[in-house]
Amino acid sequence: MAFTRAVIFFEPDAALSDGATPLALEPIGGRPVLHWMFRALCAEGASRFFIAAPPRYDAQIRACSPPDAAVIVSDRHDALMNFLDAPDMAAVLPRAALPMPQAGAGFAYAAPGASLRDAWAVRLTNAVQDAQLLSGWAPLYGRDTLEELKPIFQPETRP
């Protein structure tokens, strides 16, 4: 499936214990999870990213992003709606995930920007018209899941 945009959601602050790092910034394979997410999404054609996270993570997020990618880091609903104001498809990852080709279709999906805007105009939901499930993503539900996946995660070896 072709998409040029991607939306990645960090877990809300309320889900993090004091001082905890968001799962997307936790290391695996020598790099933060987000690095591997960016790499896989870029390989699928994404070049524009909206990272739904508090701006205090901006520097860490940008350190993971490809230098030629357009990245917006914001926790503002209006900024997300502006990002989606385009006719092209956007991949949506509702939480941190690892790219794993053996993973079947599940929680990640892609939909036209207009469909996402319509569904998310009032509140965020995964009930999006015209959405298509994406395979190849293993969601991280917590640090336990990350630890379980470490032995089987095989990152690409190029930088």
CATH code of the domain covering residue 139? 3.90.550
Residues of the chain above pLDDT 70, percent: 89
Answer whether residue 159 is part of any domain: no
Answer whether residue 120 is part of any domain: yes
More confident residue, 122 or 151: 151
- The answer to whether the CB of 92 falls within 8 A of the CB of 7 is yes
**Band of residue 1 on the pLDDT scale cut at 50, 70, 90:** low
Q: What average pLDDT does this structure show over 6-14?
A: 83
Q: What average pLDDT does this structure show over 46-60?
A: 95
* Per-residue confidence (pLDDT) for residue 18, from 0 to 100: 66
Domain span holding position 141: 5-149
* Per-residue confidence (pLDDT) for residue 152, from 0 to 100: 87
Q: pLDDT digits over 54-66, tens only?
A: 999 999 999 999 9
Total tally of structural domains belonging to the chain: 1
Helices (H), the chain: 33-43, 58-64, 77-83, 113-120, 143-149
**Band of residue 156 on the pLDDT scale cut at 50, 70, 90:** low
Q: pLDDT digits over 125-148, tens only?
A: 667 778 888 999 999 998 899 999
> 159 burial class (0-12, 13-18, 19+ CB within 10 angstroms)?
exposed
Answer whether residue 145 is part of any domain: yes
Please report where in the chains the tokens 């989606």 appear, as a residue.
Answer: 84
What pTM, to 2 d.p., does this model score?
A: 0.91
**Band of residue 19 on the pLDDT scale cut at 50, 70, 90:** low
> Distances from the Cα of 144 to the Cαs of 30, 31, 150, in angstroms?
18, 18, 10
Answer whether residue 154 is part of any domain: no
> Distances from the Cα of 4 to the Cαs of 47, 115, 142, in angstroms?
6, 15, 28
Q: Average pLDDT over the chain, rounded to whole?
A: 88
Q: What average pLDDT does this structure show over 68-95?
A: 94
Answer whether residue 124 is part of any domain: yes
